[in-house]
Amino acid sequence: MTADLDLDTRLEAVEVFSAEAARCRLGDRDGSAAARLLGGHAIDGDLRSDDPVAGHLWMLGLRRSLVRASAIVSLTGTRARLRTQEAAQERSLGSVLRDWWQGEESLRVLTCDGGVTTGALGFVGADHAELRTAEGPVVLPFAAVVAWLL
């Protein structure tokens, strides 16, 4: 009888773990990471998930980076972490960029074609941002950006 209970308990635990693991997203991974991105870019840093941004991962390294999850080619050095029930509400990319827009800090933007644009945010729209660069304003569609580095 005890063996049956132990087996039932183990089977139930496996079922619960499998269901929880299926909910784990790339942004739920934890630890020091090396990310290879579209366009040949690479970023190293510690993944942070306490301020989630829809479709993006925070990486803290030499710079604070906001990396588009769909632009990640590979991620090494991390481990899966199960999501908590009280996960923080995700913010939109536009909302985060509007917060950055308030300052005059220069940021680097990595694009999917391998390019790098440096400047201060000049405007943030629904699906694009404008960077004020030394050469003049540059409009960057969100879909073309693989990472924003502050």
Encode pLDDT of 81-113 as tens digits.
666 655 568 899 999 999 887 777 889 999 999
Q: Edge to edge, what strands does the sheet with 145-149 contain?
A: 72-76, 31-37, 42-53, 56-60, 64-68, 145-149, 107-111, 116-124, 128-133, 136-141
10-19 confidence digits (pLDDT tens): 777 667 656 6
CATH class of 25-149: mainly beta
pLDDT at 68 over 70: yes
CA distances in angstroms from 59 to 9, 53, 77, 78, 127, listed in the order given: 38, 12, 13, 12, 22
For residue 124, list its beta bridge partners. Answer: 129
Contact 120, 108 (CB under 8 A): no
> Model confidence at 133, in pLDDT bands (50, 70, 90)?
very high
**Is 137's pLDDT higher than 90?**
yes
∠ CA 128-133-135, nearest 5°, is 120
Domain edges within the chain: 25-149
Rounded average pLDDT over 52-57: 90
- For residues 131, 116, 148, 80, the Cα torsion angle rounded to the nearest 10 degrees is 170
In this predicted model, which residue has the larger pLDDT, 43 or 102? Answer: 43
How large a percentage of the chain has pLDDT more than 90? 51
The pLDDT, as a whole number, for residue 100 is 83
Alpha-helical runs (H) found in 24-111: 93-101
65-84 b/e with 16+ CB inside 10 Å = b? Answer: bbbbeebbeebeebeeeeee
Q: What is the pLDDT of residue 150?
A: 86
**Rounded mean pLDDT of the chain?**
85
What is the pLDDT at residue 89? 82
- Regarding predicted confidence, which is higher, 5 or 150? 150
